[in-house]
Structures are given as C-alpha cells and as structure tokens.
Chain A
Amino acid sequence: MTAHNRRPLPKRGLVWLSVIVVALAAPLVFRSDTALNIGILLLLYATLAQAWNILGGLAGQISFGNAVFFGIGAYTSTVLLVRAGVSPWLGMLAGAALALVVALLVGFPMFRLGGHYFAIATIALGEIASTIVTNWDAVGGATGIVIPLVRDAQGQPSDSWRMLQFNQSRLPYYYLALVLLALTTLVTALILRSKLGYYLRAIRNDQQAARALGVAVLRYKLAAIALSAIFTAIAGTLYAQYLLYIDPETTMRLDLSVLAALIAILGGVGTVAGPLIGAAVMVPMSELTRAFLGGGGNAIDLLLYGGLIVLISLFEPQGLIGIGRRFRRSPRSQPVTVEPAPISSSEEAH
C-alpha cells in the first residue's frame, strides 16, 4: 500500500488537478439533466465510499452499517426542517453531531469484536436502526417524510439556498456534492500522511502488534468511525434534500451500506483515489445499463452490472486502482515496485 507514496509528488498533483478541473467543468459540458443526475449520484456515492474508506480501508474495520449514519443525517435535518422549519444547513450540522455521538456510543462496545464479528455486528446495528425508525411514528415511521417543495409567489417550484433546495436547475446540488466529496477526500489524504494514518494502518495490519508498540487501538478506531460517521451523515442530509423524500427503505437499507463498501473495495481499498475510481465506474454503469436495457423488465441491466462486478473482483482483487498500477508498472519493471503481493493485500480487504 505504501508503494504509491514513493512516486514524485508533482506528477500526482497534476493528476489530481486535472481531476478537479474535469469535475468542475463536467456539468458545463454535459448539460442534460440526466447526465447531471448521474453526476450528483456519483459524487454522493463517492462520498459515502470515501467515508467508508476511512473506517474500512485505512483502519481495516469492515463496516456494513454506515447507512445508519447516512440515515441519521437524512432524518435529523429533515425532521428539524419539516417540524420546526430549521434550515437544512443547521440540520446538517446537527445530523453530523448526532452521528458522531452515535458512532462513539456504538463504536465503544463494537470495537471489542475482531474481524468478521465486527462486520456482523455492524449489520445488526443497521437492522436495529432501521427497525427503530420504521416503527417510530414521530419521524414518519414506515411512511417516511416528504419534504415540501419551495415555491415562489406564482406557486412554481423555485430555488432556495436557505432551504437547500434547487428545483429550477440541479447544478447547485452537483457543486455542493462536489465540495463535500473534495472535503472528504482531502481529510482522507491528510489522515494518510498524518500520525493517525500510520496508527490506523498499523491497526489494520496487525492489531496485536500495534497495541504492543503502544498504539491506543480503541482511541484511534473511534477517531476513524467518528470521521466516517460525520461525512456520511452530511451526505445523508444532501441526499434527502436532493430526493425530497426519505423513508427507512431509501436511507437505512443494508443495500446502501453494502454499496458504500462495494464501491470502495472495487475502486481500491485504503487508497485516496480508490473510492473515487470505484464510484466513477460503478454509478454510471448502474445508471446507463438501466437506461439502455432496464425498460424491458428482463433484468439484463442488473445481470450485466452484476457480471461486471464479479469480473472486476475476480481478476483484480486490489480493485480498479490495481489495474492502473499494473499497466503503469509493466514497462518500467523495477524490481522494487513489483514487490507488493496482491494476494496478501486482498486478504486484508476481506
């Protein structure tokens, strides 16, 4: 995993710069609302995957319960908005704070479980949370909550920055999601270079050894889950404002937790670029196969989508980022860079 850190910085900076330019310019080139919709979903799911990556990739704690934090973000801001007219901007902060508290509360007992048991516990956590919300009438229960449209004097749906709702053009949603993803990615990159990042990787590689060396394992795992929860919750608020409707099915489903993990793992777990690459491939793949093949009702789109996932994970367990490395490395054939064995790193991911 450390091999890519050795490459000269300026070149990598150039790649990132061009990614940012492309992301900023994309909606100005692809102007259709369909493309914009794919773009927004891509950025939101990439954020989910990146936030998952902090906990699952860097710290090696495979979580299938991140939808809980997503749901907390979506529900907190929406309930505050619908019940008390609180701006979703404040609701977003409240949701992030609540997610942080819940993350610490559930992380404390759950991090005592190792490996697969932690993963199973997170599934249980997700199910518990979704059952609570489904049966909690004060937050809409099973029926969910419809966020009322902001309308202008003529009764036409209009835009409102205060209410974080954009009905005329979806462009603001795109850039807000882009800012959130950039922030999440920046934090991940900073963690990777910081002391925290080294501690987390030490925990991932061998928890016992890390503890023996004096790393406060529980404390750093809690830091990882807290950061993961905060960004996931903010994405939840944004998603609720984009969809204008939330129910336990859409915000707390196990699918969503799995999707976050799937995108990160397919893209390349534990790297900064992995979740972004994963989302950039998976989201358009899912949307486009459905758009072209979905109307027939014969599930060819889902078969193709599933088949692609199987192929990628079969042939490149390191994720899509591994494919890129493979092609880049082959002409140089330096003995040092060939060294990281893909098999062992794939075992960590599972």
Chain B
Amino acid sequence: MNSLTRRQVLRLGLAGLAGGLLAACGGQATSTPTPAKSSGAATSSTATAQTPTTAATATKATTATASTASGSSKTIRIGVIFPLTGTAASVGNDAKQAVQLAVQLVNEGAPDIALPLAKGGGLPNLGGAKVELVFGDSQGKAEVGQSEAERLIKQEKVVALLGCYQSAVTKTASAVAERAGIPLVNGDSSSPALTEQGYQWFFRTSPHDGDFSKIIMEFLQALTQQKNAGIKTVSLLYEDTDFGVNSAQALKAEAQAHGLQVVGEVKYKANATSLTTEVQTLKGQNADALVPSSYTNDAILTIKTAQQLGYLPKMIVAQDAGYADPAFISGVGANIAEGMCTRSAFSVDITQLKPAAAKVNELYKKAAGKDIYDVPARDFTAMLVLLDAINRAGSTDPAAIKRALEATNLGPNDTIMPWKGVKFDSKHQNTLGTGIILQIRDGQYRTVYPFDVKTIDVTFPLKPWNQR
C-alpha cells in the first residue's frame, strides 16, 4: 500500500516537472518575439527611449534589440558572456545593461550623443543592419565560459564575442574563439597574460594590471614629489586568486620603477572570515602607504579590522575591485572611507569633462537605476569599439571584422572613457587606455589623478581614526 501511494506521488511529481519544463521552454519560445515588440515600440520614435518605462522594457528583454520588427533584412548577432549568476552576478548584470545600451544607441540612435555610430539606424556600411545580442551566463566558472562560448559560436552563429569579466573565464572562452576563428573583444579582464599568449582573435580595449599598477605608483610618486606627501614605502595586501596574485606582481614591478620600496606583502585567503593577523602584520610593517587588491567583502573587513586595531598608513590606494564598489562606502560608512583612494578606468564625475559620457550616464541611469561605473563603462566602450569595427569591415565575415579591429583608430572624443583613444598593438592590447585615481570624498568617488583630468584636489594624509 505504502509503495503504491509513493509511486503515485512520484508520478505526480514527474508529471508536474515535465509540465514545468514544457512551460519553461514554451516561455522561452514565446519570449523571443517579445523583445522585438518592445524594441519595435522603441524604434518608432527615439524620444520614447527617454521615457523610463520603454527604456526599462527594452533593457529587460533577453536580447537588447531584435531587428525582426524593424524591417531590416540583415541582423548581426553578437554573443556576450558575463557572470549573470554567482558571486559576481551584480557586476555582470550591470555590464549587461551597459552593452544593451550601446546596442540601443546604434540601432535606435541618440543624435545628441557625439559618439561614433550613435546617429542610429543600425550599421550604415552594412545597409543599416541592426545588431542583436545573444547572452550567455558563465556563472563565473571557467568551464561554463567555455561551454557558453562554444554554444554562442556554433549554435547561435554569432559573428563576434564580447566578455567575460573574470580573467579565468575569458581565458577559456578566448581559446574557443581562437579555435573557431571568431573575434573576442574584452573590455574588463585585467590579467596581463590574456594578451601575452599571442592569440590572433583576442582584443582587449581596457588597460591591464600592468597599466593600472603603473598609475597607482605614479600617483604615489606624484604625491611625494609634487605635494610633499613623504611616501617612500609601500605594503601590499592581496587575495590568493588570479586577480590578487597578478596584481601584486605588477604592483611590485611598478613600485620599483617609481622609486618606492615594498616593505612587505601579505597574501590572504579570499572571502576570509577574519583578517586580524593580516592587519597586525601590516601594522608591524609600518609602511607609508597600503595598496590592497580585494573584492568588496574583504575590503570592508580589512578596513573595519584596521580601525579596531588602530592601523592607519598615510595613504591607502586600492587596486580597484572592492574599494571601487559603492557597497564598500556604505559597508564601512562614509566617514570611515573618507580620503581612501582606488584606481579605476572610469568615474562618473568624468561626465563633468565629457558631455557624451554625461548623456550616456543619463540613459544608463534610466535603464539600470544607478550611475554607470567602471566595469559597465568599460564594457559599453568595448561594445562600441566592436560595432565600429564591424561597420568599417562592412561585412559579417569574422576575418574581415578581425582586420577592421586591428585597424581601429579612435581618438579621445570617440569614447566615454578618460582615455587617449583606442588603438591595438601587435598583441591586440589597447595602447591608448589609461587608469585614473579616485578618492572617496563625502561618500562619493571623485577623480583626483592624473591631475589634468581631476575634478577635485587630492587630500592627504588620511585623517586619524579618532578624528573621523
């Protein structure tokens, strides 16, 4: 008797499951036309993109824009891989919003934004062809990134790939792209190894750890030489991951090159529950400046522990990541975070200097509900660089796109970044990208270095804990 009821329950469960699966697949099948509808509504007038509701529906859809409704015969499919679930999901989804916005600008236009291709109406050299994005979720795992790259290239027939945030994921995806002969444009992975492995189909628009470490040390040197900050020694604190280890290596090399002495390195286990020993060690090293490479949780823990133990160097300049996350400021409190610095590739106050960036930020804020920041801004830029190349290639042939990417030559006003432009070297690394240094002031990130793009004067040294 017992087994009979069990069997019934089992069958019911299986039936429900099958139903659920069918419903899910059906939902997927019917969801494909949905973005076409919403984008169709948006294309009818560019002004609708300004209203929050349509902007939201356009970006909520899985594919940013599908040209089926627009009447254009050609659609260019680009595959995008981000960590849409997992620990980096929030950054991944913000980056997704940014690349969708880039495609929206090209497909529908925003004539008041002075960026290449933002006139609208698709890609002019391809008869006004529209761009369609197909997203893959890497879950932040290297092996999933490989599967997704494979699927997007072979199944979804994309002509180029963009992604993938975590350097490990970008490594496996770039190997797939290399095998298949499909360009992969990366805007947000900082491991120098990516462009060092000599792949022919891999392009990086963003600066890498080496460039970023250079700007940090340059900044510390400038503080001492031009502002008498008296910073001669540096401690490094970094997590035991690809990011942390590479970052520390690059920082060490650049510190030497800029006449700074690294008096100690402290490596810790990522997502640690306690950093007391590490902070004690740093305190013992007593360096003038601390350069940490940590993600948000660890960054908050480091600063809270430092406060408890009374550890405070003259200056803290972080290698981006957690220290550039607004959640860091709210996590430790604005008055505690006051005065700390981080490198970045973008800051929202750049919009004061770059009108195009200000307008892009306006649109981004409507879609995502927050200001654009470093990673989304870099991916927005990478997507526009890729679309610019496809347009110049005048073809969807991957080899032609690759040649066009190699010939990319964008100037300081062609991107929203505080860069000199985009131009790839023989290893396909952008040579005109630079980092900037931000300082936390009254709970906001403000650009303080290079001095010619600063929006506020840097303050130093850090105020003692008891005076905050």
A211 within 8 A of B: no
Whether the Cβ atoms of B96 and A297 lie closer than 8 Å is yes
Interface flags, A26-44, vs B, CB<8A=1, else 0: 0000001110010001000
Interface flags, B31-62, vs A, CB<8A=1, else 0: 00000000000000000000000000000001
Among A11-19, A59-67, A180-188, A300-308, the one that faces the other chain is: A300-308
Chain A residues positioned under 8 Å from B244 (CB to CB): 142
Interface flags, B219-261, vs A, CB<8A=1, else 0: 0000000000000000000001110111000000000000000
| Contact pick for A297, options B13, B25, B134, B135, CB 8 Å | B135
A326 within 8 A of B: yes
B28 within 8 A of A: yes
Whether the Cβ atoms of A41 and B147 lie closer than 8 Å is yes
Chain A residues positioned under 8 Å from B191 (CB to CB): 143
Whether the Cβ atoms of A250 and B141 lie closer than 8 Å is yes
A316 to B148, CA, bound (A): 32
Whether the Cβ atoms of A142 and B241 lie closer than 8 Å is yes
Beyond A142-B242, A250-B142, A330-B7, whether A295 also contacts B193 by CB under 8 A is no
A295 to B240, CA, bound (A): 30
Chain B residues positioned under 8 Å from A32 (CB to CB): 154-155
Distance between A322 CB and nearest chain B CB, rounded to angstroms: 10
Q: Name the residue in B6, B143, B150 with the highest tally of chain A Cβ atoms < 10 Å from its Cβ.
A: B143
| Contact pick for B171, options A141, A144, A289, A301, CB 8 Å | A144
Among A101-109, A197-205, A240-248, the one that faces the other chain is: A240-248
Chain A residues positioned under 8 Å from B96 (CB to CB): 297
Chain B residues positioned under 8 Å from A250 (CB to CB): 141-143, 168
Whether the Cβ atoms of B84 and A149 lie closer than 8 Å is no
> Told that A142-B244, A299-B85 touch, could you supply 7 new A-B pairs with CB distance under 8 A?
A33-B155, A149-B178, A245-B171, A293-B28, A294-B136, A302-B139, A304-B24
Chain A residues positioned under 8 Å from B84 (CB to CB): 294-297, 299
Partner-B contacts on A (CB < 8 A) = 32-34, 37, 41, 131, 134-135, 141-144, 146, 148-149, 155, 157, 167, 243-245, 247, 249-250, 287, 289-297, 299-302, 304, 307-308, 311, 314-316, 323, 326, 330, 338
The 8 sampled A-B contact pairs (Cβ below 8 Å) are A135-B267, A144-B242, A146-B175, A243-B143, A245-B172, A247-B142, A295-B137, A304-B24
Q: Name the residue in B13, B24, B137 with the highest tally of chain A Cβ atoms < 10 Å from its Cβ.
A: B137
Whether the Cβ atoms of B146 and A143 lie closer than 8 Å is no
Residue of A nearest to B171 (CB): A245
Interface flags, B169-192, vs A, CB<8A=1, else 0: 001100100110000000000010
Beyond A249-B141, A311-B17, whether A300 also contacts B24 by CB under 8 A is yes
Distance between A273 CB and nearest chain B CB, rounded to angstroms: 19
Task: For the complex of A and B, list the 7 residue pairs with the smallest distance between their C-beta atoms, beginning with the closest.
Answer: A297-B84, A295-B135, A294-B137, A33-B154, A299-B85, A315-B10, A34-B155
Whether the Cβ atoms of A249 and B9 lie closer than 8 Å is no
Whether the Cβ atoms of B7 and A34 lie closer than 8 Å is no
Beyond A143-B245, A243-B142, whether A148 also contacts B62 by CB under 8 A is no
Interface flags, B260-288, vs A, CB<8A=1, else 0: 00000001010000000000000000000
Residue of B nearest to A127 (CB): B269
Distance between A115 CB and nearest chain B CB, rounded to angstroms: 27
Interface flags, B1-35, vs A, CB<8A=1, else 0: 00100110110010001001100110010000000
A292 to B172, CA, bound (A): 21
Chain A residues positioned under 8 Å from B200 (CB to CB): 155
Whether the Cβ atoms of B137 and A301 lie closer than 8 Å is yes
Beyond A34-B155, A144-B171, A249-B168, whether A292 also contacts B147 by CB under 8 A is no
B348 within 8 A of A: no
Interface flags, B98-135, vs A, CB<8A=1, else 0: 00000000000000000000000000000000000011
| Contact pick for A37, options B136, B150, B175, B193, CB 8 Å | B150
B426 within 8 A of A: no
B69 within 8 A of A: no
Chain B residues positioned under 8 Å from A245 (CB to CB): 142, 168, 171-172, 175
A308 to B20, CA, bound (A): 10
Chain B residues positioned under 8 Å from A287 (CB to CB): 147
